[in-house]
Structure formats: structure tokens, C-alpha cells
Structure 1
Amino acid sequence: MNIGIIGAGAIANTMLERINHDAHENLRINSVLVRDKEKYQHLEGEYGISLHTDLGYFLDSDVDIVVEAANVEVAKSVLPEVMRKKDAMLISVGALAEGEFVAELMQIAKTNGRTLHLPSGAIGGLDLIQNVQSHGELESVTLTTRKPAVALTYETVASEKAVFEGKAIDAIKHFPKNMNVAIILAMAGIGMERTHVTLIADPSTDRNTHQIEVKGAFGRASFTIENEPLPENHNTSYLAAISILGTLERMNRNFVIGG
């Protein structure tokens, strides 16, 4: 499968290293869309890819799927055009915080026969949540996210402090850069109005921890994920980066586990 990437940051470089540099058996990155071609010129020789600055030429290149790995603003500006021509994978899921944009993408996907893939990112357990919700048997979903205090507040915090508690949709409005997990969890489950979020600023931790509690007719489930940062960029979750690679690999398999 030939892949095109939008963006050339930490996630894009991790993908280039693990797919092209390591000569992945079934995956190949052919094209990368950037704003500054001169800045990233070295990637062409290093990984054997073509750099593009024009979205149209990028989409016309030999790619089967486009992976957005830039930021929310870029995702919102280019994703509609991308999905008119290609299947896509969205990393900056904060772009889906607005219902109108989600509805637009759903209509484009339906009209053009496209698929938008949303990797699980920095959490797990979404297969269970989706399976239960598909029969309308999911009663409650709660997310407690604990992050280093400096990532959430400018105040000096002596001990852990809940900086938000309420609906996912409100958490996203107040902490748009810290709620990707809440968005993907709400979309997999009972929605942004019914998913309950607690966000804790903790001065004693240097990592992000997500505690997910699920209740329904099936019983109860809980997941705790303690995220290590990506070595190349401590602002990016290691698990979020490899979830992209895992999703791409499963798309090529004849045997599919879970889901």
C-alpha cells in the first residue's frame, strides 16, 4: 500500500523511519506534503520520497491513502478535498470537535465512497466500547486523564488538582490541545454529551495517564494507560505514534483480530 503523509513532524519522521528506512514488507511512503520544501529537502534522499507543496499534485501522486500528521488547523483546511480523492487517516482528531465538520466529512465520504480511519491513539479498549455500543447497551463511559501540571495550567500547583470535571464536549472547548483522547473515546462510545471527563493537573508526574471506566449490559470494564513519550518528541505519545503504524498494517492483513 502506497502512503502519502501531510506534515513532516515527529510522527511523520517516525513513520518514515519504520516504514521506508526499515523496508516494510507491505507499506511504502511515496509522497509527503509540506509547506517549506527547502526545509525538508533532505527527506527525499534519506527516505526515497517525493516532497510536494501543492495539495492537488500531492493527491494526484501514487498514493492509496493519505495520513494527516500536521495539526488541527491543517486537517480542517485540507481533509474535505483529500477525502474527495483518497481514503484518509486523521491524527489531529481535535478537528472533529465540531459536529458540523464531522457531518461534512461523513457526507463527502458517502458521496465519494471514501473511508476515514481514526487510530486509537494514546488509549486502548475502543473495540470493546464500539462492540457494546453497536447494540445500544453502553450505559456510561468515564475518562480520568492525569497530566503534568505544567501541561494544563500556568498556576503553581503544589499537589494534584482537578482542573476540569464534566461533559467531554465542554472539556474539549476548555482544553482543545489536551482532549484528543476524549474525542476518540466519545465517538467510539456514547457521544460527547454523555461521556464524562475529569482532567487532573499533577505536579508529581512526568507522563500522561488515562483511566477509562465503562459500564453496560455486558458488565464493567476498566483500562489504565500510562503513556511514555516518543523519544524523538516528548510532546507526542509513543503509543499514539505506533497506533498509526498498527492501523496501517492491519488494513493489509488477511486475518483481522478484534474490531
Structure 2
Amino acid sequence: MKIGLVGEGAIGRFVAEKLGAAGYGPHVVLVRPARLDGPNGTRVRRVGSVADLPSDLDLMVDCAGHAALIEHGAAILGRGIDLITVSLGALADPDLERSLTDAARSGSAQLHLASGAIGALDCLQAARVGGLAEVTYTGRKPPAGWRGSPAEDRIDLDRLTAAATHFDGTARQAATEYPKNANVAAAVALAGMGFDKTRARLIADPDVTANIHEIHASGTFGSFSFRIEGKALPDNPRSSALAAMSVIAAIERRRAPVTT
């Protein structure tokens, strides 16, 4: 299997390192044209457009965020190359979701959604078959984890002495308003009841030191609650370590003769 990456950020570097250690590549990295002549520590071939990707690629992995999926996703799928992405929040835009679906069909390719920083999505998908009545996602981070987001305009992150909810709405609203913070809300929505029926709550909490993700779901199957406390990648406090690991897990499932 020949694998390429989109992006060279913290998640991209983690994935490239793991792929290299396992002997999987990467064989090419798609970057912004301005970065083609920049430092290249791995010496992997760089290209600046989807048209320049090798014709024998089996899989591309998007590690570069919403903008990269919007810019390159449809073109990659249209070329018949399968694509794994962690930028699930971008699919809150129905036009983008439609564009990617149409491109995948025309190119006989598949878009694979990595689980990112959350677990229990297989349980949620199974529960959906029987019928879900309620799904709520709650994201809790230290105040510093919400810098650069609309939370700065809604609460005083510097003076918090107790947990404060700065968003309570649908997963679609969360993914749209918090594009850098709500990929997990999108993952929960896509696995369960959809963007408009999934409730999302985002909380700044000065008493926590990790990013905490919780799912509560109920339906004909019964109910379940799931909680995970995630750490960031060492070289970027904004990037979830588990999100990066989920990309490798998704690639390994594609390669495995037996998979879950």
C-alpha cells in the first residue's frame, strides 16, 4: 500500500514518524505551494497540488485541518484515491459533505472518518441501528485550551474560578462556530443521530488539566456514558495525541487481513 499525507503539522509529523518506523512510507506529502522549498526533515517528496500526486497512490491521509479537506478532499477522491481524515467538523457544512460524497462516488473511492480524540463510536453506531433517543457530547478543557475560539468573547478565560459553559447547542452549531475545537462533537454526531439532533456542550474548567470528552446516549438498546481524558501531542498542545493515534489505527485496519 502506497500512502501519502496532507500536511506537515503536529499530527502529520506523528503519522509520518509511525509510518516510517513501520516501513509504510509516507511516499508523498501534499503541502501548500509556498512550503515546497522549505525544510524537509524526512526528505519525503513534496507536491503542491492534487494533480501532482503519483498515480499509484492507494491512500491519502488528511492531517491538515478543515481548510485542507475543503481544498483538496474532493479532488483526491475524484482521482480514485481513498482518503482518511480527522477533520470531521468540516462535514457540518452540508455542501462540503455533498461534494465529498459525489467525488467519492465518481472516483470509486472512500472517505474514511478517523475516530479522533474520542472512543465508543462503535457502540454508538451499533445503538443507532436499533434507534437512538438522545446523544449528548460534553467537551471540557482548561481555560487555556479555548483560546482562539468564541469562548474568549463569551466568558473571561483569565478569571475563571469555576467551570463555565460557553456553548450549548447542536453539534452542527458547535462544529461551525468552533472549527478548531469541535471535531469530536462532529465525530459523535456522524456516528449517532446526526449534526442537528446531537446536543453539544462546551465547558471551560480551571480545575482540570486535560481535555475531557464525554458521551451520553440512550435509546432502545438502553443507555451508556463514556468519558476520556486526553493528552496533547508533546510538540503542540492544541493537537490531541489520541487523534493522531486514531489515524494510525485507521491505516492499520485498512492493511489488516482481519479487522474490527
TM-score norm. by structure 2 comes to 0.90
- 1:27-80 Cα offsets, whole Å, 9 max, x none, are 331001122122233321xxxx2121232112x354210111112112101111
Deviation at 1:247, TM superposition (A): 0.7
Q: Is contact 2:60–2:82 with CA below 8 Å preserved after alignment?
A: yes
Deviation at 1:92, TM superposition (A): 1.8
From 59, 63, 66, the equivalent of 1:65 is 59
Structure 1 distance, partners of 2:192, 2:87, is 19
**In the alignment, which residue of structure 2 is the partner of 1:6?**
6
Q: Is contact 1:30–1:62 with CA below 8 Å preserved after alignment?
A: no
Structure 1 residues 150 and 42, CA, compared in 2 at 3 Å: closer, same or farther? closer
**In the alignment, which residue of structure 2 is the partner of 1:204?**
207
**In the alignment, which residue of structure 2 is the partner of 1:170?**
173
**In the alignment, which residue of structure 2 is the partner of 1:220?**
223
From 194, 205, 210, the equivalent of 1:191 is 194
Structural mapping, 1:11-30, within 5 Å:
11-20=11-20, 22=21, 24=22, 27-30=24-27
Matched, 1:31 2:28: yes
Structure 1 residues 253 and 247, CA, compared in 2 at 3 Å: closer, same or farther? same
Identity across the alignment (%): 33
**In the alignment, which residue of structure 2 is the partner of 1:231?**
234
Structure 2 distance, partners of 1:4, 1:234, is 25
Task: In structure 1, give the amino acid aligned to 2:13.
Answer: N
Matched, 1:120 2:115: yes
Q: Is contact 2:86–2:115 with CA below 8 Å preserved after alignment?
A: no
Structure 1 residues 150 and 232, CA, compared in 2 at 3 Å: closer, same or farther? closer
SS at match of 1:210: strand
Q: How many residues align?
A: 248
Task: In structure 2, give the amino acid aligned to 1:2.
Answer: K
Task: In structure 2, give the amino acid aligned to 1:114.
Answer: A
SS at match of 2:255: coil
Deviation at 1:105, TM superposition (A): 1.1
Residue ranges of structure 1 left out of the alignment (5+ in a row): none
Task: In structure 2, give the amino acid aligned to 1:30.
Answer: H
Structure 2 distance, partners of 1:37, 1:171, is 34
**In the alignment, which residue of structure 2 is the partner of 1:243?**
246
Query: Which stretch shifts more, 49-58 or 206-215?
Result: 49-58
Query: Which stretch shifts more, 195-204 or 165-174?
Result: 165-174
Q: Is contact 2:36–2:47 with CA below 8 Å preserved after alignment?
A: yes
CA-atom RMSD, angstroms? 1.5
- 1:199-243 Cα offsets, whole Å, 9 max, x none, are 111122222101111111111111101001111222111110100
Higher relative contact order (CA 8 A, sep 6+): 2
Q: Is contact 2:169–2:199 with CA below 8 Å preserved after alignment?
A: yes
From 129, 136, 142, the equivalent of 2:124 is 129
Structure 1 distance, partners of 2:72, 2:142, is 32
Structure 1 distance, partners of 2:14, 2:224, is 32
Residue ranges of structure 2 left out of the alignment (5+ in a row): none
**In the alignment, which residue of structure 2 is the partner of 1:253?**
256
Structural mapping, 1:50-129, within 5 Å:
50-58=45-53, 60-85=54-79, 86-129=81-124
- 1:2-25 Cα offsets, whole Å, 9 max, x none, are 1100111111111121121x2x15
